[in-house]
Chain A
Amino acid sequence: MADREYAYYSGCSLEGTAVEYDISVRRVMEALGIRLSEPEDWSCCGSTPAHTVDHLLAAALAARNLTIIEKMGFNTVITPCPSCMMAFKKAHHRMKEDIRFKDEVNSLLDEPYNLNVQSKSALQIIIEDIGLEKVKERVTHVMPDLKVAPYYGCILNRPPEIAQFDDPENPLSMDKIFTAIGVEVCDFAFKVECCGAAYGVPKRDMVNELTYKILSMAVDCGANCVAVACPLCQQNLDLRQQQVNIRKNTSFNIPVLYFSQIMGLAYGYSPEEMVIDKLVVNPDSLISSRITLSQWNEMKAREAEASKAKKKEKKNIEKIEEET
């Protein structure tokens, strides 16, 4: 049974190139007792392109969706895509700060937005509303081979006055979740570097340069996969990894998974249910060693037993040596 219910705005990317993010977030939320309600007939948030035209237009395109959510009676919407989340947060923030701006935005809309909706990332909901205790409780499987570089990207937690969650320079929400579900986290220095965002198409060389740096740092810190919370980060690091290899003469082959896919695997969902096959760089070799928590605990108990026996034996030998 669902403990809580939220509005859920997937956004255009999650309907297309990032469908595995959408499916894995929905399943993980369900596993955590969260019911999601999709706003009817939502439209694109406007993303980056709208705010190159005008602040007013950008806010209005975002606010149309907030109005729909408000009318559904929700005061929180989960937005897994950081671009959508920022578009919503900025529209809300600016309308709240400036009454005249609010009126102007509303004059572009069929129905006004009355400032009653908070947009939050799935990570924020998991940390603040669900809590790490429950995140841990739900674990059924262990993936001993995963070494994750947690990559947050540039706008998930910034600017801090608008994001209102986690640390803008050293965010820890993903780190904490992975630690709670027993996945090894690497000390990754480029958590908030920018991946090239929406420039993949018009400025591909630039994006390849930026992702080259991020992938290099991930490998250097000992990670064998990268975890992300943004469809653009995922695309630039995964789909364009081969472009980087050609351009920079490298041989990166490092899988880039959504954090929600990793959580789902720890919660016992199959790789098919987490739509792992949509990833370009194949993570199968890392997740095929997945075992159940009870198998893992048995293994750990046996190991502990063995090391105890070894210690005892060593003590006995020492004793005998002393006596002779």
Chain B
Amino acid sequence: MDAINLTIIDRNFIELVKKESGENPYLCYQCGNCTAGCPYTTFFDYPVSQIMRLLQTGQKDIILNSRAIWVCATCETCTTRCPCQIDVAHIMDTLRIIARRENRVSEKDIKLFYDEFLSSMAKYGRIYELGLLLGYNIKSGHIMTDADLGPKVLTKGKIHFLPKKIKGRDKVSKIFERFKDRTRRDGR
């Protein structure tokens, strides 16, 4: 890890994460258990225990620009093994939400995939797998993503060519709308 300038501690950021996650990052004593079990740690730029330390020292920019918070798969290993009973995965979740809100996205493809998923949901009420994959491929520019799987999936009849639309899909899209109204109202 690069040297960190401890004269810049963003206390508001620490408070925000505390409030939104309901967790206390100061309980962490850097035992490293979370990192030892994290199956994704080889793909992280900062291992999860370092994210925790960076959080204790209010290093907002490093954290929100990190790859780790997007690559984390919420597998719950860290939460399960933390001796201080910190819900570490929930903190990672919260950091990702804040990063998204501030439009800082180090892993564009992952975010795009999530966005396509949610727009499928808002449109149909359920997930339309083929549409989700095609939408992702076109928008990401990775047109051939999983094209090798195509024949397998198609011959197995595993994928529907038309979305299943539920009757209450307007009710689902209403949830999204109310949520948007609410965030607008809160000035986020």
Contacts and interface: CB of A to CB of B under 8 A. Distances in A.
A160 to B, nearest CB: 6
Interface stretch (A195-203, A221-229, A290-298): A195-203
A169 B179 contact: no
Interface in A44-58: 44, 46-57
B26 interface: no
Q: How large is the interface on A (under 10, 10 to 19, 20 to 34, 35 or more residues)?
A: 35 or more
A44 B127 contact: yes
Contact of A201 (B94, B145, B148): B145
B80 A50 contact: no
Given A16-B159, A158-B80, A43 B121 contact: yes
Given A194-B40, A203-B109, A52 B100 contact: yes
A53 B97 contact: yes
B118 interface: yes
Interface string B81-111: 0000001010001101100100000010111
A108 B182 contact: yes
Contact of A15 (B121, B126, B168, B178): B126
Nearest to A97: B22
Interface of B: 20, 22, 39-40, 42-43, 71, 73-77, 79-80, 87, 89, 93-94, 96-97, 100, 107, 109-115, 117-118, 121, 125-127, 129, 133, 136, 140, 145-146, 148-149, 152-153, 156-160, 164, 166-169, 171-172, 174-176, 178-179, 182-183
Given A17-B129, A44-B125, A110-B174, 13 more contacts: A16-B159, A46-B121, A47-B127, A60-B175, A61-B175, A98-B22, A159-B89, A194-B75, A197-B75, A198-B73, A200-B146, A202-B136, A239-B153
Interface of A: 12-13, 15-17, 19, 41-44, 46-57, 60-61, 64, 98, 107-110, 154-155, 158-160, 168-169, 192-194, 196-204, 206, 209-210, 239-240, 242-243, 277-278, 280
9 contacts: A46-B121, A49-B114, A49-B121, A61-B121, A61-B172, A108-B178, A194-B75, A202-B109, A240-B149
